[in-house]
């Protein structure tokens, strides 16, 4: 029986704040590029550097992108919202305030349904607001602290969830779903390693059955899903340990250190800034027309859930396979274009998820794919060869049959040729025969592995197996 640990008596209450960098062509208040990775201080101008006399002008695309995010997460869109100033001194903020939204954000009261251990669970979204990103401080051992203003003014939306999550897994599902949505909307690259999708986690613990909330901490610098999961587990345990020893939790901001797999207090509530929010007098309120919101709603692209529905219901793919397909939007889009035209949807699904496809686009066409699946479906090639042909297809524009011819990939099906090879192989590997005779089933797979290796995967696996059985019967 599993030992009941003290940790099982607690549950964690978790909410997240997610910053999504929008991929608009220009920044939120000026015409500078939002491209990532430029030479320091090359993608900036007097406006985003906050020079005296400059004024912000709100980029309409940012509002449109934020509305899309709101609609896709079932939010109400506020037809009146306003930009506020959040005042604080820090060298990454050249105006010494961030233009954000405080009292009237663009979207409120949304939700996402995510799969949790207990089935589908609704996670509330409190609000979505628009704001500008800050610059980056680079700490250099010899030169001191340097400032790169390129990121200043890159548009962000901040999505704040309700404290509705109870485990690291739920948080991970929520974040993955949210990330897929914003990528499918085409409003962000979603690249976590470039800071385009960043999460802060607010967490408190309480004894199961207790209704009141405990004191929470906020964890920052969680730039991968693995860090989020690990940080939640570690923080939950830390808080329970403190409480079990009779201590109290301090409301504070903690920074996750991925190398040490631990979080460290940055500042407590007492040192928290008074941001002195007030409406930015340089910007007019954002006043929307319901028709404008409706137009954006009508033009919304298909979202991950719709893809899932179609793939599972219309094409009969397994949920897990469909989920794998939609985890990459390029793959999902290609799948939607192709799956109805190939002779076997499942073979197609297995094949496309078996090939490693990065974020770059898939440069293959539907005709190539139809032929490839036909070859596979009709047994002319096996799945190993199909994968190879697929990989060649992504590099060249040739049709599968051509590729097979050029690269000599037709499977070896001749019984004579395969028998010759098998005899040779077993002669030089007597151990396989010995093992097989002493009852080790694994010996057969060792043989098959070697056959494939010798023929670069071209040996027909079924025929090769029959030959093996025949040969050993005779030995």
Partner 1 sequence: MKALIYESIGELSKKLCASEISSEELTRAFVDQIEKLDDSIGAYLHFDPVLAIERAIAIDLKRQKKQILSPISGIPMAIKDNICTSDMPTTCASKMLEGYMSPFDAHVVKKLRANDAIILGKLNMDEFAMGASTETSYFKKTRNPVDMGRVPGGSSGGPAAAVAAFEAAYTLGSDTGGSIRQPAAFCGVSGLKPTYGTISRSGLIAFASSLDQIGPIAKNVEDLAFVYTALAGHDPMDSTSSERMVENKDALIGENIEKLRVALPMNYLREGIQKEVKDAVLEAAKTFESIGVTVEPVEIENMEYALPAYYLLSSAEASSNLAKFDGIQYGYRHSGFDSIGSLYNQSRGFGFGTEVKRRILLGTYALSSGYYDAYYLNALRARQMVKETFDKLFESFDVILTPVAPTTAYKFGEHSKNPVEMYLGDIYTVPVNIAGLPALSTNCGFDDDEMPIGMQLIGKAFSEKVILSLGLAFEKEFAKKEVVL
| Closest C-alpha among 14, 17, 7, 9 to residue 216 | 14
Identity of the residue, 50 or 190, whose beta carbon is nearer to partner 1 in the bound complex? 50
Q: How far is the CB of 66 from partner 1 (least distance, A)?
A: 17
Beta strand residue intervals within 105-216, DSSP E: 107-116, 119-132, 136-140, 144-148, 155-161, 197-207
Binding-site residue total for partner 1 (CB under 8 A)? 29
Identity of the residue, 91 or 186, whose beta carbon is nearer to partner 1 in the bound complex? 91
Of the residues 3, 5, 53, 473, which one makes contact with partner 1 according to CB under 8 A? 53
Of the residues 13, 33, 40, 54, which one makes contact with partner 1 according to CB under 8 A? 54
| Closest C-alpha among 291, 283, 282, 279 to residue 67 | 291
Identity of the residue, 54 or 383, whose beta carbon is nearer to partner 1 in the bound complex? 54
Piece in contact with partner 1 (CB under 8 A), picked from 47-55, 238-246, 379-387, 402-410: 47-55
Q: How far is the CB of 248 from partner 1 (least distance, A)?
A: 24
Q: What is the CA radius of gyration of the chain?
A: 29
Piece in contact with partner 1 (CB under 8 A), picked from 42-50, 287-295, 366-374, 439-447: 42-50
Site string for partner 1, 62-101 (x = CB under 8 A): -----------------------x-x-xxx--xxxx----
Sheet with 84-87: strands ordered across: 97-100, 84-87, 278-279
Q: What are the backbone angles phi and psi of residue 249, rounded to the nearest 5°?
A: -85, 135
According to the binding rule CB under 8 A, does residue 274 interact with partner 1?
yes
According to the binding rule CB under 8 A, does residue 278 interact with partner 1?
yes
Identity of the residue, 87 or 402, whose beta carbon is nearer to partner 1 in the bound complex? 87
Q: How far is the CB of 278 from partner 1 (least distance, A)?
A: 6
Tokens coding 359: 């974020």
How many angstroms separate the CA atoms of 458 and 411, rounded? 4
Give how far the C-alpha of residue 198 lies from the chain's centroid of Cα atoms, to the nearest Å: 11
According to the binding rule CB under 8 A, does residue 20 interact with partner 1?
no
Q: How far is the CB of 57 from partner 1 (least distance, A)?
A: 5
How many angstroms separate the CA atoms of 237 and 105, rounded? 35
According to the binding rule CB under 8 A, does residue 52 interact with partner 1?
yes
3-state secondary structure of 365: coil
How many angstroms separate the CA atoms of 344 and 308, rounded? 18
Sorted by sequence, the CB contacts under 8 Å of residue 203 that are 6+ apart come out as: 12, 13, 14, 216, 217, 219, 232, 235, 236, 239
Beta strand residue intervals within 162-300, DSSP E: 197-207, 217-222, 252-257, 262-268, 278-279, 286-287
Of the residues 269, 276, 313, 440, which one makes contact with partner 1 according to CB under 8 A? 276
According to the binding rule CB under 8 A, does residue 226 interact with partner 1?
no
According to the binding rule CB under 8 A, does residue 55 interact with partner 1?
yes
| Contact assessment for residue 263 and residue 256, using Cβ atoms and an 8 Å cutoff | yes
Identity of the residue, 10 or 97, whose beta carbon is nearer to partner 1 in the bound complex? 97
Identity of the residue, 97 or 436, whose beta carbon is nearer to partner 1 in the bound complex? 97
How many angstroms separate the CA atoms of 341 and 344, rounded? 9
Identity of the residue, 85 or 388, whose beta carbon is nearer to partner 1 in the bound complex? 85
Piece in contact with partner 1 (CB under 8 A), picked from 46-54, 113-121, 290-298, 456-464: 46-54
9 C-beta neighbours (distance < 10 Å), count: 12
Identity of the residue, 275 or 315, whose beta carbon is nearer to partner 1 in the bound complex? 275
Of the residues 14, 20, 48, 49, which one makes contact with partner 1 according to CB under 8 A? 49
Of the residues 50, 153, 214, 400, which one makes contact with partner 1 according to CB under 8 A? 50
Piece in contact with partner 1 (CB under 8 A), picked from 72-80, 197-205, 216-224, 273-281: 273-281
Of the residues 234, 283, 321, 357, which one makes contact with partner 1 according to CB under 8 A? 283
How many angstroms separate the CA atoms of 232 and 248, rounded? 18
Q: How far is the CB of 61 from partner 1 (least distance, A)?
A: 15
As a 3-state breakdown, the chain gives helix, strand, coil percent values, each rounded to 5, of 40, 20, 40
| Contact assessment for residue 73 and residue 157, using Cβ atoms and an 8 Å cutoff | no
Site string for partner 1, 143-162 (x = CB under 8 A): ----x---------------
According to the binding rule CB under 8 A, does residue 58 interact with partner 1?
yes
Angle between helix 415-428 and 461-474 (nearest 10): 60
Identity of the residue, 44 or 386, whose beta carbon is nearer to partner 1 in the bound complex? 44
* Interface residues toward partner 1, by CB under 8 A: 46, 49-58, 85, 87, 89-91, 94-97, 147, 274, 276-278, 281-284
């Amino acid at each position: 029986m599993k030992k009941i640990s003290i940790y099982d008596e607690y549950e964690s209450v978790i909410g997240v704040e997610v910053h999504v960098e929008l991929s608009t062509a220009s920044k939120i208040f000026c015409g500078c590029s939002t491209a990532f990775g430029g030479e320091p201080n090359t993608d900036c101008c007097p406006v985003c550097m906050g020079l005296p006399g400059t004024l912000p002008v709100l980029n309409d695309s940012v509002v449109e992108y934020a509305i899309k995010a709101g609609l896709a997460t079932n939010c109400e869109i506020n037809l009146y919202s306003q930009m506020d100033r959040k005042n604080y001194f820090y060298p990454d903020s050249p105006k010494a305030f961030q233009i954000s939204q405080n009292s009237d954000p663009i979207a409120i009261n949304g939700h996402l349904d995510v799969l949790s251990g207990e089935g589908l669970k609704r996670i509330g979204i409190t609000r979505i607001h628009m704001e500008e990103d800050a610059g980056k401080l680079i700490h250099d051992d010899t030169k001191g602290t340097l400032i790169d203003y390129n990121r200043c003014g890159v548009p962000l939306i901040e999505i704040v969830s309700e404290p509705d999550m109870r485990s690291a897994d739920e948080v991970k599902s929520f974040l993955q779903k949210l990330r897929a949505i914003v990528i499918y909307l085409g409003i962000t690259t979603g690249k976590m390693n470039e800071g385009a999708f960043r999460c802060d986690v607010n967490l408190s613990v309480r004894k199961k059955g207790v209704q009141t909330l405990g004191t929470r901490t906020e964890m920052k610098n969680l730039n991968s899903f693995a860090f989020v999961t690990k940080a939640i587990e570690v923080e939950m345990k830390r808080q329970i340990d403190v409480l079990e020893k009779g201590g109290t939790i301090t409301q504070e901001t903690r920074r996750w250190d991925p190398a040490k797999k631990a979080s460290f207090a940055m500042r407590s509530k007492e040192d928290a800034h008074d941001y002195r929010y007030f409406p930015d007098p340089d910007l007019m309120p954002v006043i929307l027309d319901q028709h404008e919101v409706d137009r954006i709603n009508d033009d919304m692209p298909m979202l991950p859930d719709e893809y899932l529905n179609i793939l599972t219901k219309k094409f009969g793919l397994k949920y897990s396979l469909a989920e794998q397909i939609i985890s990459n939007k390029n793959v999902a889009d290609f799948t939607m274009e192709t799956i109805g035209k190939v002779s076997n949807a499942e073979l197609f699904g297995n094949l496309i998820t078996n090939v490693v496809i990065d974020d770059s686009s898939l440069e293959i066409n539907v005709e190539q794919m139809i032929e490839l699946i036909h070859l596979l479906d009709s047994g002319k090639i096996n799945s190993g060869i199909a994968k190879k042909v697929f990989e060649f297809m992504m590099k060249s524009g040739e049709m599968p049959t051509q590729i097979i011819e050029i690269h000599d990939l037709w499977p070896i099906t001749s019984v004579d040729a395969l028998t010759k090879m098998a005899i040779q192989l077993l002669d030089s590997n007597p151990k396989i025969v010995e093992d097989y005779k002493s009852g080790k089933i694994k010996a057969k797979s060792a043989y098959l592995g070697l056959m494939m290796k010798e023929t670069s995967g071209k040996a027909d696996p079924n025929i090769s197996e029959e030959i093996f059985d025949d040969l050993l019967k005779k030995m």
